[in-house]
Amino acid sequence: MENLENYVRRGEVERAIKVLREEDDPIIRTELLCELFKLVPWGMDYNIVRDELLSARYLARDRKEKAIILSLIAEALFQRGEEGKAVKMFSEAMETAERIGLPSSRAEALSGVALNLLRAGFYEDAYDLFVKAVEALMSGETNTMPLLSKIADLITGGVEGIDDPEWAVAHLHLAAEVYEYVGRNLSSSISKRKAELIKRAIEGDVRILRRILAENRVDDAVLIARYLPKELRGMAFLEVSFWLYANGHSEAGRQVFEDAYSLLTAFPGVGEEELFSIAVDFVKLGYPQLASRLANLISSERLISGLLARIAVAYYRSGEEFLARTIAMGIPSETIKSRVLQEIGGEAHVGYEQGLQVAGGREKR
């Protein structure tokens, strides 16, 4: 099937709905409708897709499908800001799942609803439903190990969307217990280790980050960075970005750098010495343009002078003499500026005469 974004971009929403109606599986059709609903702008198309989505509840062939479909619709509504309607549908989904008689079907429905509650940020309700799903299988039918294992996988996968560290730890501990029960001891150990890393992050333990990156455990480093106190996350993601660039993953590094830059912008003045150090490392690595952007976040005249000096020399050595002189002219310290201009063969009056700005958009001082 063609990408739903293409239909929305061309204004062919009704055609997209017609195509989706050809999908026989009610849950898959609802998932696709949810995706379409999250894409359409407010207006006529929004109402058309919303009506189609709300009617998807009648596609369910049993209570298990109904509970999951209701929760899918509720999560989509929540994401579009219709919180009141979403909460009502989530409540109906939970009630429907809990009324299912067969323990395995009830567990599947409960875990499916729980996953959508997680996505909407209802962590406590999600946790309670996951517990009920596990309890239904442990006290009910025989041969439930495969389903229990699947639910544990759902829980660990769902943790990736949890932004509350305490609830992330709680869900990982639950998953570890289930893994241990079904004999997946390695998975249990991994879940416990992740929970411990998040606890270290909650405590603001930044020192562990570089050690983990030195061991090439970038996924664990990202996990810690996500759950550090907000004022520390930007610097942590910047460390991860540098590691990615240094290890040949420039595209991923660029994406993480943008996230880090946004976080650092939100908390100006935090850790300028560390910011200077990482910016210098980017210059050494051959990315002076990234260091130039980080220069915008530094207010200390001493640090900004030292950083701009390194950036200017790096550009000069790469053959970009005009840009090097431009940056050098923006160095606040007259002593450092004079030294750098001598090194790159510049003249003290060049930048001022031409009204140039330093790299990264900083104004001349």
pTM, full prediction: 0.80
Torsion angle of C-alpha atoms 188, 190, 191, 197, degrees rounded to 10:
150
DSSP characters for 290-311?
Answer: HHHHHHTT---HHHHHHHHHHH
| The predicted structure's pLDDT at residue 162 | 94
| The predicted structure's pLDDT at residue 205 | 78
DSSP characters for 205-270?
Answer: --HHHHHHHHTT-HHHHHHHHHHS-HHHHHHHHHHHHHHHHHTT-HHHHHHHHHHHHHHHHHSTTT
Which residues, 6 or more positions from 292, have their beta carbon under 8 angstroms from its beta carbon?
311, 327, 358, 359, 360
| The predicted structure's pLDDT at residue 203 | 87
**Nearest by Cα to 68 from 19, 21, 16, 28:** 28
Distance CA 209, CA 323 (A): 35
| The predicted structure's pLDDT at residue 142 | 67
Distance CA 100, CA 309 (A): 69
Is the distance from CB of 236 to CB of 265 less than 8 angstroms?
Answer: no
Q: How far is CA 141 from the centre of its chain?
A: 38
358: left (phi over 0), alpha (psi -120 to 50) or beta: beta
* Token pair belonging to 50: 């919303």
The pLDDT averaged over each successive group of 10 residues in the chain (365 residues) is 80 90 94 94 90 94 96 96 96 96 94 96 96 89 86 94 94 97 96 94 84 91 92 92 95 95 85 91 95 93 94 93 92 92 67 38 36
Long-range contacts, 313-318 (Cβ 8 Å, 24+)? 313/340, 313/343, 313/344, 314/283, 314/286, 314/288, 315/288, 316/343, 316/344, 318/288
Q: How far is CA 311 from the centre of its chain?
A: 30
| The predicted structure's pLDDT at residue 353 | 36
Is the distance from CB of 71 to CB of 116 less than 8 angstroms?
Answer: yes
Amino acid identity of 188? S
